Amino acid sequence: MHEMGIVLHLAKTLDETAEENKLTKIGRVTLQVGEVSGIMTDLFTDAFDYFKKKHPMLTECKLELETIPGVTWCDNCHKTYETVKYGKTCPHCGSGETWLLQGNECIIKEIEAE
Partner 1 sequence: MKIINVGASVTASNDKDAALLREEMRARGQLMINLMSSPGSGKTTLLSRLIRDLSEVKIAVMEADIESAVDAERIEALGAKAIQVHTDGMCHMDAGMTRAAVEALDDDAAQLIFLENVGNLICPAEYDTGAGLNMMILSVPEGDDKPLKYPLMFEQSDALVISKTDALPYFAFDLEKCAERARKLNPQIRVFPVSAKTGEGMEDLEAWLLERLAAY
Which residues in this chain contact partner 1 in the complex, by CB under 8 A?
A: 1-2, 5-6, 9-10, 12-13, 15-17, 21, 23, 27, 31, 38, 75, 88, 96, 99-100, 104-114
Q: Report the partner that residue 106 touches, choosing among Zn ion, partner 1, none (CB closer than 5 to 8 A by kind).
A: partner 1
Nearer to Zn ion, 17 or 80 (CB): 80
Q: d(Cα 29, Cα 64) in Å, to the nearest integer?
A: 6
Q: d(Cα 79, Cα 91) in Å, to the nearest integer?
A: 10
- The Cβ of residue 97 has, within 10 Å, a number of other Cβ atoms equal to 13
∠ CA 77-33-76, rounded to 5°: 10
Report the nearest approach of partner 1 to the CB of residue 52 (Å).
15
Residue 58 DSSP code:
G
Site residues for Zn ion, 64-103, by CB under 5 A, read: 74, 76-77, 90, 92-93, 95
Q: Report the partner that residue 74 touches, choosing among partner 1, Zn ion, none (CB closer than 5 to 8 A by kind).
A: Zn ion
